[in-house]
Amino acid sequence: MIINTGGRTDTVQYYTEWLLNRFKEGYVLTRNPLFPNKVNRYELDPGKVDCVVFCSKNYKPILSGLHEITDRFNTYFHYTITAYGKDIEPGVPPIEESMHTLVSLSEQVGRKRVAWRYDPVLLTEKYTVETHLQTFEHMAGVLAPYIDRCIFSFVEMYKKLKTNMPELIPLTERDKEKLAEGLGGIAEKYGIAIQTCGTNGDYTRYGINKSGCMTLDILGKANGIEFKNLKHKGTRQGCHCIESRDIGAYDTCMNGCKYCYANKSSRRAFENYKYHDPASPLLLGGLEPTDTVMQGAQKSFRKGQSYAGIKNRTNPG
């Protein structure tokens, strides 16, 4: 199985102590987002976890303790660094600081395990097509020696954005073509493998691969392991990723990004943080008497290995 630590929240930046504690203790509990009283338990054991995937906008808080995980597990790291400032990403460090941290991360874990995410790409009067291309080129020149690939996507125009980002200018097909052509050309110039993820449209003519950001091929090559040849179902339209189990929780990321899909509101995330206990097996709060804990299935994707757990428990000690 693949453990995902950063799909629902930035655990690396805001819940570092909790994350390291979970791997020390060897298990984690996570609530079902649709049925909160249903809790899944996953064993954080190298024999039962094929790879641990991280996604964060600031790895600085975890760098000193990251070896506690990387020494034992196969890993892969997504580092999101965009062109945006505090007006759109209030809790994210400045670009130069973020790039410096990415270099430190790469030197620690190896460039084959680090992907630079430049997403989502969106337009406002401040962040124009030209601004994106200029900023991307500056960043590419710095990051190229330290990354496995670059991944980008165009912003999804979901309903919440109309409220959170009234300044947003909808992307036209012409905008997307110009951006794809520019990003592809810059990536080629600096020798960066570039791909989309979760974005419909074929931009291979610009040297942009259409692939998932979390595939068995990517994870296998990064860690020198061989996976089974399995179909990748993805999680939404345009996604080509292998299935994973996310151990975070929605409405808990305090980065405050205006385009965020994982928070109903940034204020709610700060309110929920009050219920965080670094010693708890759950990201927020603890188990309640009405909770039912189920051992999550942990089937291996690696050749020659398999494991699954399906036992039910109720509020175990």
- Residue found under tokens 């012409």: 174
Q: What is the pLDDT of residue 263?
A: 85
Quick check: pTM over 0.85? yes
CA distance 52 to 94: 27
Q: What is the pLDDT of residue 41?
A: 98
Reduced to 3 DSSP states, what percent helix, strand and coil does the chain have, rounded to the nearest 5?
Answer: 30, 20, 50
Q: What is the pLDDT of residue 316?
A: 35
Q: What is the pLDDT of residue 39?
A: 97
- Residue 234: is its pLDDT beyond 70? no
Label residues 225-255 b or e (16+ Cβ within 10 Å = b): eebeeeeeebeeebbbbbebbbbbbbbbbbb
Work out the pLDDT band at 306, boundaries 50, 70, 90. Answer: low
- Residue 232: is its pLDDT beyond 70? no
Work out the pLDDT band at 311, boundaries 50, 70, 90. Answer: very low
- Residue found under tokens 């405050």: 256
Give the gyration radius of the chain's Cα atoms.
Answer: 19
pLDDT mean over 51-58: 98
Least confident of 57-61, 107-111, 141-145, 244-248: 244-248
DSSP annotation of 233: -
Give Cα 52 to chain centroid, integer Å.
11
Sign of CA dihedral 51, 52, 55, 60: negative
Label residues 63-83 b or e (16+ Cβ within 10 Å = b): eeebeebeeebbbbbbbbbbb
pLDDT mean over 195-214: 87
Q: Please check whether residue 31 is in contact with residue 39, taking contact to mean a CB–CB distance below 8 angstroms.
A: yes
Dihedral (Cα; 247, 256, 58, 183), 10-degree rounding? 100
pLDDT tens-digit series, residues 165-179: 999 999 999 999 999
Q: What is the pLDDT of residue 307?
A: 54
* Length of the chain measured in residues: 317
Nearest Cα to Cα of residue 84 among 120, 115, 130: 120
